[in-house]
C-alpha cells in the first residue's frame, strides 16, 4: 500500500486501514471529518464490514472503535504500523475538531 502525505508517496504495510490524505476539516455542522480515512474488517466469508466510511466525523470513528461509555473519554486514537523495511508510521485521529497527524519514524509529515 502507498501512503501519500504532503505530495510525497511512501510505502506502508496494509493492516485493514487505508489512510489517504488524513486531514480533518470542520463541516457546517461543527463536526470534524476524516474525509479520507477508511477502516474496515475483511470477513472470512469474503464480505467486508465497514468500521468507518470516508467523510464520517472523527468523533464517530473513536466512538465506534472504543464505545461511548469510556470515561474519561479519549483525546485521540493512535494507529501504529511498522513497514516491511522497519519504518514506523503513526497516525493520530483526534476526538475533537483538530487535524489528524501522521508521523514517519517519529517525524511529523
Distances (CA, A) of 39 to 10, 14, 92: 19, 11, 14
Q: What is the mean pLDDT of residues 69-98?
A: 86
Query: Over the stretch 7-60, which tens digit does the pLDDT of each residue have?
Result: 344 443 344 444 444 555 545 455 555 556 778 889 999 999 888 877 777 778
Q: What is the mean pLDDT of residues 66-76?
A: 85
Q: Are 95 and 89 in contact (CB under 8 A)?
A: no
Q: What is the DSSP letter of 7?
A: T
Higher pLDDT, 97 or 30: 97
Whole-prediction pTM value?
A: 0.58
Q: How many helices (H) and strands (E) in the chain?
A: 1, 11
What is the C-alpha to C-alpha distance for residues 11 and 20, in angstroms, rounded to an integer? Answer: 12
Beta strands 17-19 and 37-42 are antiparallel
Amino acid at each position: 500500500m502507498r501512503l501519500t502525505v504532503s505530495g510525497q508517496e511512501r510505502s506502508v504495510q496494509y493492516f485493514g486501514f487505508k489512510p489517504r490524505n488524513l486531514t480533518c476539516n470542520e463541516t457546517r455542522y461543527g463536526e470534524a471529518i476524516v474525509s479520507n480515512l477508511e477502516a474496515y474488517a475483511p470477513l472470512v466469508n469474503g464480505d467486508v464490514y465497514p468500521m468507518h466510511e470516508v467523510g464520517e466525523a472523527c468523533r464517530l470513528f473513536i466512538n465506534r472503535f472504543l464505545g461511548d461509555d469510556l470515561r474519561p473519554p479519549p483525546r485521540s486514537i493512535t494507529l501504529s504500523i511498522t513497514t516491511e523495511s522497519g519504518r514506523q508510521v503513526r497516525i493520530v485521529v483526534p476526538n475533537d475538531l483538530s487535524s489528524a497527524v501522521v508521523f514517519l519514524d517519529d517525524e511529523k509529515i
